[in-house]
Structure 1
Amino acid sequence: MKKILYTMLVALMTAFTFTSCEDVPAPYDIPNGGNGGETTTEVAEGNGTVDSPYNPLAVVQYIKSLEAGVNSSDYVYIKGIVSSTKEISAQFGNASFYISADGTTTGTQFYVYRVKGLGNKNIASDDEVKVGDEVIICAKVVNYGGNTPETVQGEGYIYALNGKTEGGTTPSTGQATGDGSKENPFNSVAANQMASKLASGEKTDKQYYIKGKVVSVKEAFSAQFGNASFYISDDGKEDNKFYVFRTLYLNNEKWTEGKTNVAVGDEVVVCGSLINYMGNTPETVQGETYLVSLKNNGGGTETPDTPDTPEVADGLTLDATNGIVTMMNTGVTEGNSIEVSVEDMNLTDDGETGTEVTTITLSDGTKIEFDGGGETYKPTYFKKYQSIRVYKNNGFTVTGKSKIAKIVFTCDGAKNVGNKTATLTFSGNTATYKNVYTETKGGGVQFRFKSVKIVYAK
């Protein structure tokens, strides 16, 4: 009996003990995830000038006030102590590392991404920057991806390292000029601004002309690849340079031996699509860029053998770079549209030579009626290419459900955009195109399209 009473008493005391512990509050809250009970309070300091550099917290706050993914228009100064290094590379001449106010990893960490060394010169050794070094950085900054404040690659350098400076002034931000047209090309500043506004990996939906002097050549033209990569700026100096990446040569062709190569100091005009590569590198798009003119530093100017934009009928634009043919009914306001690929037109072809096509009716009732123009080769559908070929003097008439404002064809191949002597007429709800070729020999330029977009008038 005593054993039973003893056991009950022990159980009762245990239950009381657990209940009492739940009612007793902890003696203090655990700050910073349990960092020994210590708290750190950071204060944003500095205004971003050389005399009053931002500290890491201040520059992060400044960057978060910028539009995501858009480079700051001005250079700013940032001061801190290196808390960890990511890549210090003499091979590439730049350094990537983190800084904090006190050199520890417990406070705000700011990412210094691919900056040059003292005096805006290339990093010379792989141990040029070390943990514990005090630095002042001069750079443009960006909120990369909308969630990573950092310096802009290629747009910054170490102004001071452990109190040592080697000249180097705030780079000029430059003045953006040009509208990207052939008559008024972008300068390097404007090209950088246009590309930096794009989302990471996004490219422009059209090509722009860009003019400048070659600052440095990363990859000269070669017979192996036929393209070149180089930087340009207004005056041929480092400030505000823009990266021309793997551009083709004049006439939108690969470079071949015997042709003039590109060199530092050359004045060039390029035409290309722009991209914000990886969200932090404005540049031209490989395979969608070519030289329009090359004025060699040693004298002499090279221009294409033929105009890069053919002179064609009013309202007809042949983009031989992107393979786009646009038929514009001028003076008409655009409204609704329909777009369809040849692959979805339910055409049949079981042979290698293709099948003649006469009439196509789209889902909204619009008709495309083809005409051979008296030629042996008539408009033909090729299943294996999923395209329709319109040969010399062939033509077609598009009859829409209402008045047509614009027709855009995407062609099979950059240069298969038809002859510059082609004709175009709009009348009521119809648009008539004829791939006119007037020479006595040859077949001219075929018009091969893979898709069509028809925009109706409002």
Structure 2
Amino acid sequence: MKKLVYSAIALAVSVLSLTSCEDVPAPYTLPTASENTEIKVAPKGSGTAEDPFNVVALDSLMDNEFDANATYYVKGVVSQVGTFNESFGNITYYIKDEEASTTFYVYRGLGLGGANFTSESDIAIGDSVVVAGNVTIYNGTKEFVTNKSHIVYLNGKTASNSGTSTAEPTGTGTETDPYNVAAVLKLYENNSYDSNKEVYVKGIVAKVGSIDTVNYGNATYYISDDGTSTNDFEIYHGFYLNGEKFTSKSQLKKGQTVVVCGKLTLYNTTKEMDKESKLISIEGEGTSTESGSEAAGQITTSSFNLTDAAEWGTQTLTDGTKIIAEAGTGSNSPKFYIAGSGTLRVYPGNTLTFEATKNIKSITILCDSYNGINYTAQGMATASVGTIALNELTYTISDINSNKVVLTNSNTNTGGKSQLRILSFVINYAN
């Protein structure tokens, strides 16, 4: 472990040099001189559930060698609360050792036992927590991986007394004896799964991430043994029953019991069933899908399977509608980035054209929020046809009555705040 020496100069430099997962500065101010008292905290813990690291120990570990696939546990107090993402139920925040200076970044972490947060008030500065998850270093920032951490202890409340999954591994992975989710996750712990072999897994749908009924007909969803987001398992871009395409968002709902067949894989640090899996059975009524009501032409930007940092260019939907992203008067071309939930970045001066085979009635665009910044180009997007309005993270272009509309990022500033970062579109046709 490195020797920890803190001084006023070092602390100021560390705050100035802290970067986030994105290309924007962290939204906090420098400490005052009275806060720059030298603090020395000894590293403690082994990083397990029984003996969590303190923040200094985890920070020091990452200066040497760490396992990106391992789940580390760290104990600390919440020192700053950032963005609450309502769409995905996560919060970005920082933790530190009590009265110490070193902080650790929890990027888009989940709540107690892996459940979604319901509001930014679910955690507060000064809360005592134990956080578990995968860690990484992104552009120099030591942090927990997006949506791959959760709180296991919050002010005396633990995952074990809040109804989290305690299922024992069962099943052999066959059609007649499918794995439960606990058994699948155990395979990853032991690195004993065969990525070339199809297996059967049974679980309860804990969350429906997205259902693409327009372009590829696949869905990304999460299953667990108890129907909560605790110890859930991602089914990435899977197909419907018998391998058919999804045609309606009502075909899969939270709370339904499913058996799914596919190959297991590890994408970066994400344990998941690889694309092109298929549902074998669906039981139960479930509840309404989290991705919203049925709408004509609902598309997530991640459904086009673009590689990271790829130029968007022209993407054509199965109904013939084209979504064309061009540089316009900007110096950078619009690009898709996988980071976070996957977004199309439209920079100042860029244009986004929707060109359909029939008249468009309205377009709804959901933008991303990160670290306290809403990436809506600060409300300076303009539409060539119709009326455009911004409500928090959602742009609505209404009264279009045309088969073509051009959206322009008319912001003339530079930097992250001037970007549009688009998560999804909903296109409603007039006929």
TM-score range, shorter chain: 0.3 to 0.5
Greater length-normalized contact order (CA 8 Å, ≥ 6 residues apart)? 2
Larger Rg: 1
Higher strand share: 2
